Amino acid sequence: MAESEQTRCGLVALVGRPNVGKSTLLNHLVGQKVSITSRKPQTTRQRVLGIKTLGGAQLIFVDTPGFHQGYRKALNRHMNRTISATLLDVDVVLFVIDRLGFSEEDDALLQQLRYLTRPVFLIINKTDELDDITALLPFIDSVRQQHPLFAEIVPLSALKQQGTDALEATLVRYLPEQPWFYPDDQLTDRSARFLAAEFVREKITRQMGDELPYETAVEIEEFRQEGAICHISAVILVEKETQKAMLIGNAGSRLKLIGTEARKEMERMFDSKVMLKLWVKVKAGWSDDERALRSLGFD
């Protein structure tokens, strides 16, 4: 872009309770997978940037963990603190809800948003799953009357990519006029090491479903490029021996499947052949230990 042309740039936070589709929306807006997804709540644990540059505007989306109540572990406190800190730093907030209606957790987060001075959009996600699409307009009218804080109300389907173009076009109007923060070909602020760990954790979450609690983390011990091959070694942390046995599976079958799926994801992202090695280690109480969380990058 010519230097004389005015550019817009700003940070846009995606907030909401778990499983409303924030990470799916981020990935489709950016056009690349930068945040992991699964049906299990609390898949996203740390703030992830997804960068979309179009025309004279650069949208820097900030994916956040799902807001939740009733959890007292250090990991859960960290995730809620991440949301609060993000709200202070951004130019626009996208409050994402699941179809029509507000849950108790939605209402609790809504109370935090009332005190913000920056624009807040209500994003009504998963409209493709509505049983009665005619209920959408009355719901929007009701929300406008009850919650005047919303600068815009945008219905869409992140999964079907319906309404995402309209969201982008609307967002650009709210961005401040300033230079871009990142090169126009950059997609995220996260390192390849971070993404590798997240891809492993995503496959664990998808493979294990409800069998394994949330006390699972992934730490990259080696990340080395040799010619056309990327060598990655990762340790999967669990809190109990029984969890370790479940994760490994019969004769290592489950761990092998997790590794295979994660490796394919890494090869797509890194455009390189990947040699992935996985180990499982028991580290009791890590999810409620502030020092352990800091060592894993939760700060």
Residue 174's pLDDT band, with cuts at 50, 70 and 90, is: very high
Q: What is the mean pLDDT of the chain?
A: 87
Instruction: Provide the pLDDT for residue 78.
Output: 66
Q: 121 or 43, which is more confident? A: 121
Residue 41's pLDDT band, with cuts at 50, 70 and 90, is: low
Amino acid in the structure at residue 210? D
Percent of the chain with pLDDT over 90: 57
Instruction: Provide the pLDDT for residue 2.
Output: 46
Residue 249's pLDDT band, with cuts at 50, 70 and 90, is: very high
Element (H, E) at 244: helix 241-248
Mean per-residue pLDDT for 200-208?
89
Place of tokens 């990327």: 230
CA distance 117 to 92: 10
Q: Residue 166 carries which DSSP code? A: H
- Dihedrals φ, ψ of 133, to 5°? -65, -25
Question: Minimum mean pLDDT among 24-38, 66-80, 278-292: which range?
Answer: 66-80
The upper half-sphere exposure of residue 130, i.e. CA atoms within 13 Å in the direction of its Cβ, equals 19
Distances 68 to 62, 87, 148, 193, 241 between C-alpha atoms, Å: 18, 16, 24, 28, 28
CA distance 183 to 166: 24
Beta bridge partners of 273: 229
Yes or no: say if 28 and 158 are a contact pair by the CB < 8 Å rule: yes
pLDDT at 166 over 50: yes
CA distance 56 to 50: 17
Provide the b/e sequence for 265-285 (b: ≥16 CB within 10 Å): bbeebbeeebebebebeebee
Radius of gyration of the chain from its Cα atoms, rounded to whole angstroms: 20
Instruction: Provide the pLDDT for residue 261.
Output: 96
Structural domains of the chain sorted by starting position, each given as residue range(s) with its CATH number in brackets: 8-174 (3.40.50.300), 192-295 (3.30.300.20)
Instruction: Provide the pLDDT for residue 187.
Output: 93
pLDDT in tens, 210-228: 676 567 889 999 999 999 9
Parallel, antiparallel, or unpaired: how do β-strands 120-125 and 92-98 relate? Answer: parallel
Residue 192 in tokens: 């390849």
Instruction: Provide the pLDDT for residue 96.
Output: 95
